[in-house]
Homo-oligomer: A and B are copies of this chain.
Amino acid sequence: MDLTHYMQEVGQNARRASHLLARTATQQKNQALQAIADELENQRATLIAANQQDLTAGKANGLDAAMLDRLTLNDKVLNSMIEGIRQVIALADPIGEISDLKYRPSGIQVGKMRVPLGVVGIIYESRPNVTIDAAALCLKSGNACILRGGSESIHSNQAIAQCIQRGLNNAGLPETAVQVIQTTDRAAVGQLIQMAEYVDVIIPRGGKSLIERISREARIPVIKHLDGICHVYIDDKADMQKAIDIAYNAKTHRYGVCNAMETLLVAEAIAPHILPKLATLYQEKGVELRGCEKTLTILPQIVAATEEDWKTEYLAAILAIRIVPDVDAAIRHICDYSSQHTDSIVTEDWTRAMRFLREVDSSSVMVNASTRFADGFEYGLGAEIGISTDKFHARGPVGLEGLTSQKFIVLGNGQVRV
Q: For A406, list chain B residues within 8 Å (CB).
A: 395
The interface centre, meaning the residue of A96, A200, A239, A413 with most chain B CB atoms within 10 A of its CB, is A413
Given known pairs A110-B379, A397-B408, the reply for A414 and B361 (CB within 8 Å) is: no
Q: Chain B residues near A393 (CB, 8 Å)? A: 392-393
The reply on A380 being an interface residue by CB < 8 A is yes
Which residues on the B side are within 8 Å of A382 (C-beta)?
Answer: none
Q: Mark A384-401, 1 if CB is under 8 A from B, else 0.
A: 000000011101110000
Residues from chain B with a CB closer than 8 A to the CB of A250 are: 416
CA distance A391 to B405 in the complex (A): 6
Binds B, one of A85-93, A270-278, A364-372: A364-372
Residues of B within 8 A of A249 (CB): 416-417
Establish whether residues B391 and A200, one from each chain, have CB atoms under 8 Å apart when the complex forms: yes
- Known A249-B417, A395-B407, A416-B372; judge A358-B221 contact (CB<8 A): no
Q: Which residue of B lies closest to A346 (CB)?
A: B414
A interface, CB within 8 angstroms of B: 19, 22-23, 96, 102, 104, 106, 108, 110, 113, 115, 117-118, 200-201, 221, 239, 241-242, 245-246, 248-250, 253, 335, 344, 355, 357-359, 361-370, 372-374, 378-380, 391-393, 395-397, 405-417
Task: In the A-B complex, list the 6 residue pairs whose CB atoms are closest, starting with the nearest.
Answer: A369-B412, A242-B414, A249-B416, A372-B417, A366-B410, A396-B408
What are 12 A-B contacts with C-beta separation under 8 Å?
Answer: A106-B373, A108-B378, A115-B391, A117-B391, A248-B416, A249-B417, A364-B409, A368-B414, A369-B410, A370-B415, A373-B415, A379-B408
